[in-house]
Amino acid sequence: MADVQREYSSVREISGPIIIVEGVEGVSYSEVVEITTPDNTKKHGQVLEVDGDVAIIQVFEGTSGTSTSGTRVRFTGRTLHLPVSEDMLGRVFNGMGEPIDDCPEIIPEEERDINGLPINPSAREYPRDFIQTGISAIDGMNTLVRGQKLPIFSGSGMPHNEIAAQITRQAKVLTGEEFGIVFAAMGITYEEANFFKENFKKTGALEKVVMFLNLADDPAIERIITPRVALTAAEYLAFEKGMHLLVILTDMTNYCEALREISAAREEVPGRRGYPGYMYTDLASIYERAGRIEGVKGSITQMPILTMPDDDMNHPIPDLSGYITEGQIIVSRDLQRKGIYPPIDVSPSLSRLMKDGIGKGRTREDHDGLQNQLFGAYAKGKEMRDLVAVVGEDALSELDKRYLTFSEEFEKKFIRQKKDENRSIEETFELGWKLLAMLPEEELKRVDQKYIDKYYPRTKSE
């Protein structure tokens, strides 16, 4: 199609982030366009639909400044590609994947379509390598493994950033291989982004971090691209260069808002709360880019962060995410109010890949029984709390009271830790057993007797 005209100024309509161009020929679906406004500003867009000689285009930088006359649209004939190279490590890019750190241009080793390709299910390797985050609520109760996608469900004003930062500083596998970090910011504030930057500096391993920043005052529609460019870089580094990567995507809520904006502008039939009906599939095309591949050395572990509007877990954003990810870490306002950091509520949190990543030869033989017992005892203690609220503490039996104290101590000693406290998995286990010693041995029905015999600190009880 070499003789086809590629630049048009026949903009018919502009609506929100969308412009519609008519009289076009040979346009391809999803291709990238370059837009020049009457005042010579350059913008980028992508074809959302072609119908005969009409192309519908989403403009990443927003349509302000564009006009139905004097705006030129050039079709590039290519889908969005990201130049990738090992030199991306240590660099900072904008939300479209262009360097913004005043360092030299990246000399690409390859250019990759930012949408990636689906991993063939029969090429995947099941994730099983325990990642020690140094945080007991995660390592002990909701263990993360290499190649998992485990989001943090949080709310505004809660310390999800601190938790994510602590994880990036402390995460390691017991065989010693280190993690590289790919960090994608979508609509977070400059301060938040800076917090992460300083944090990465602290680890002294900035040369193992790649940052993609779309900040709060950056174009909103660009957020649709940001996680994709970040994951494209991550796939290259993981599956071509053999690196193990932790990918932090924050805040997925802002990403979904951008998706909703486009959908509304296109007048699509809205789904729940106005989010598009295809949001599940769209989010899956991001989250499913985590994983391991058989015979390939690297891995992608995803930790998306999302702030639940209204702290509502049934809101479409956390709900659809939960349907795709392999569990969730839930940050609780109640615990935060009690002054507990990290305020991770272990009851509704779950790591679905935990069971295959723990136990003998991975963490320790008693891990499953121990976490199960801690979970049960904590749940029982919380039940007692509710009961006390109704009938008063005096109505409790001696045993019930022990459970009550257990739940308090569990929050204060096991869940709570310092922001720079990096607990080894053994320390977490030891702590857990120490807490169980508050309960009579006969109560430990969820742990195998042989582990009780081995680990229950008998002398210290009473």
- Residues pairing with 112 in the sheet: 82
**Is the Cβ of residue 196 or residue 451 nearer to other proteins in the bound state?**
451
Determine, following the binding rule CB under 8 A, whether residue 5 of this chain makes contact with other proteins: no
Asked whether position 30 contacts other proteins by CB under 8 A, the answer is: yes
Number of residues that bind ligand ATP (CB under 6 A): 2
Burial of 157 (0-12, 13-18, 19+ CB in 10 A): exposed
What's the rounded Cα separation, in Å, for the pair 264 and 257? Answer: 10
Q: How far apart are CA 187 and CA 258, in angstroms?
A: 10
Give 128 or 352: the residue with its C-beta nearer to ligand ATP.
352
Task: Give the chain's largest Cα–Cα span.
Answer: 88
The DSSP bridge partners found for residue 292 are 125, 299
Beta carbon of residue 193, minimum distance to other proteins (angstroms, whole number): 28
**404, burial (CB in 10 Å: exposed 0-12, middle 13-18, buried 19+):** buried
Residue 188 or 293 with smaller CB distance to other proteins? 293
Nearer to ligand ATP, 319 or 408 (CB): 319
d(CA 302, CA 325): 9
**Residue 461 interaction partner, one of ligand ATP, other proteins, none, beta carbon < 5-8 Å per kind:** none
Among 323, 393, 457, 458, binds ligand ATP (CB under 6 A): 323
| C-alpha neighbours within 13 Å on the C-beta side of residue 184 | 32
Binding partner selected for residue 195 from other proteins, ligand ATP, none, CB under the kind-specific 5 to 8 Å limit: none
How distant is the alpha carbon of residue 257 from its chain centre?
Answer: 16
Binding status of residue 322 toward other proteins by CB under 8 A: yes
Question: How far is it, in rounded angstroms, from Cα 402 to Cα 346?
Answer: 20
Instruction: Tell me the per-residue interface mask from 204 to 243 with other proteins, x by CB under 8 A, - otherwise.
Output: -----------------------------------x----
Residue 123 near other proteins by CB under 8 A: yes
Q: Determine if 17 is a binding residue for other proteins (CB under 8 A).
A: no
Among 206, 324, 388, 399, the residue binding other proteins under the rule CB under 8 A is: 324
Q: Which does 320 bind (CB under 5 to 8 A by kind): ligand ATP, other proteins, none?
A: other proteins
Query: From CA 367, how far away is CA 189, in angstroms rounded?
Result: 39
Residue for token digits 């015999």? 453
Q: What is the spatial distance between Cα 357 and Cα 130, in angstroms, rounded to a whole number?
A: 5
Query: Taking a C-beta distance cutoff of 8 angstroms, is the pair 79, 32 a contact?
Result: yes
The site for ligand ATP (CB under 6 A) is made up of 323, 352
Q: Which residues in this chain contact other proteins in the complex, by CB under 8 A?
A: 1, 25-31, 48-53, 79, 113, 115-127, 239, 268-272, 277-278, 280-281, 284-285, 288-289, 291, 293-294, 296, 314, 316, 319-320, 322-324, 326-328, 347-348, 350, 352-353, 355, 372, 375-376, 379, 391, 395, 445
